[in-house]
Structure 1
Amino acid sequence: MRYLLKSLVILSVLGVLTLGVVSAIIIPELPDVEELKDVQMQIPLRVYSNDGSLIAEFGEKRRVPVEFRETPELLVNAFIAAEDDRFYEHPGVDWQGITRAVVNLIRTGEKTVGGSTITMQVARNFFLSRERTYLRKLNEVYLALKIEQELSKEEIMELYVNVIYLGQRAYGVGAAAQVYYGTTLDNLNLAQLSMIAGLPKAPSTTNPVTNRQRSLTRRTYVLRRMFEEGYITQQQFQEADSTPATASLHTPTVELEAPYVAEMVRREMVDRYDDDATTMGYRVYTTIQNKNQIAANHALRSAVLQYDLRHGYRGPETHIELAGNEPLEQHLELLDSYPVIANLYPALVTGLDKG
């Protein structure tokens, strides 16, 4: 009892000191959360043909912005169950979680993760660094409270699903759907949505491309939390949990091959807009027509191929050491790194007939 009273006194003193520090030093230096009402997401530069076919995409981050109403309810519920089950109840800060973390610090001297709400994650992603310090946590708390005063829960969730990093250069759920499943959010099932919802915790090490088993373990956790919170039935949980993983890495689908035109556009855009060229979501439509570009590609490749044939065989591209008893599948894997060019298919010579 004496220990508990001592802890409460310490907490009270710390609270008063914290409020003083926040009011006098921290608050004047923090950004204005009003900026979140008109956010410009970093969206890649996309180059299209005159017919609207994608030629190229330039940008460090892959992002496909989605509105809250376009986000599947199951995905929103999955994030809430896994990341912040009191999202619709707290004012931006989960005081219960923070209190548990502080009490644990007093008792054990160890810092623990606790009470980081979705709103606090929004504050961190837009305004703060990822360093784990007490000062950053105080900044998170203040900004989260301010965000909740300025924005609705739906607006906060919309920011969250668009800014959160989900591995493989994918920022936001729209990009994650394309990167891992090659489609849009509305085409994903519960198993796939829960896989995406499990990524914010450790996007680099638990995504299904780098570590399939960890991603499945995390998916099970998300599904179990959804069941515990009443978002899905036991049957839905069991069916989704037993669904095989279908994720794989999908690069942007180039619909028309015109890389030199795309590079010319990129240079022109950089000359005009500097760094904003590949982050402001510009869509550039060129005068290139699909049928003409396809014909030009075919004509050039055919001419180069005929030139190559006239000069005869020049030997192998490379030499590979083989033991001699490899299965056919291994031989086929060796050829995967060599593309098919103008109907020229790569081949692996494993032996010669002396006759």
Structure 2
Amino acid sequence: MNSSIRKLTEAAILTSVFIVITLFALSTGIGYGIYLDFGVPIVFALIYFRCDFKYTLLSGISSIAIIMLVLGNFITAILISQSFLLGIICGYLLCLNSGIFDDLFLGSIGGVIFMVLIDIYARNLIGYSFMEEFQGYIDFFKNPPTYLLTYLPFIKHINFEILYYSFIAIFPFGMVFSIYFISLMFGKKLRLLKENEKRKYFMMRSIRNLGSFMTMCNKNFYLAIGYILIFNLLGLLNIKLSVVYIKTIGTCIEYLCYYFVIRDCYMTIGNYINIKYKKKYLSIIYMIASLVLLFKMFLITSTVFVITAIIMDKKIQLRLRQNNVVESHTDKLIETYKI
């Protein structure tokens, strides 16, 4: 059978199964919550493993249209479309020849964009918005009850604008992170993983031992730094983003870039200290000092981190060496288990 016809047939069958399961779940009331947030995107990530992008996209659009027509519920269709987009993002990233943290970086940015844009429609249609929910939490902590201030006096020193955007950025990051790894596990159980997905499955298995060696590639690392510089330059030039949703997306992406850049730099410098001095107490001192300095002098400390990590990488190619350690270990696992 022609490959395209086979994929189209499989996508049609899987779409039918998904529609039946979803209609049953939604009509009985058990489909909301965990199923929509995690079940739907994982299903589409698995379909992506089997049928590739074109037929997965067709499957998602067909499913959303049929479910909307059968239930007559436009709101449910929007919620499913959000989950479908997250699933197709994770499926696409898992099929790439890239590292885990490159995927999480790009997936989190895509998740922020899709979830914030879809939040516009959800707020207008059903009156619920996860952004407004987080704003409610922030308003509560801005004017906390007296008893809360007694036990948590540091609340009055918190920058609530930073906390608000951090909540919004963490939400899609957590969703993408969960869907990414759960899809890998189900894909392995169902024998749907191809070469790139298998490599990432074994990387995932090794993340406890080799997580400190897993960093973004140079391209994404410098892309994140470039975004931070440009976004801060706009602030210095007093160029403000007047549209609330564009400002929200831009700020959340900035925070994600900060997280991945600082994590990469922290791990790279920490690995160098461990390799050169082999003293556990130095690693502990480095960790504590880094946390304190990041809280006290965030911009200065993060700048020093970035400059130090770049110099080290240029001189001894530490990022490449770390990547080689992960690749070598992954190759051994693939050879050992041969899945």
Provide TM-score, normalisation by structure 2. Answer: 0.25
Q: Which has the larger radius of gyration?
A: 1
Q: Could you tell me the TM-score, scaled by structure 1's length?
A: 0.24
The structure with more helix, counted as a fraction of residues: 2
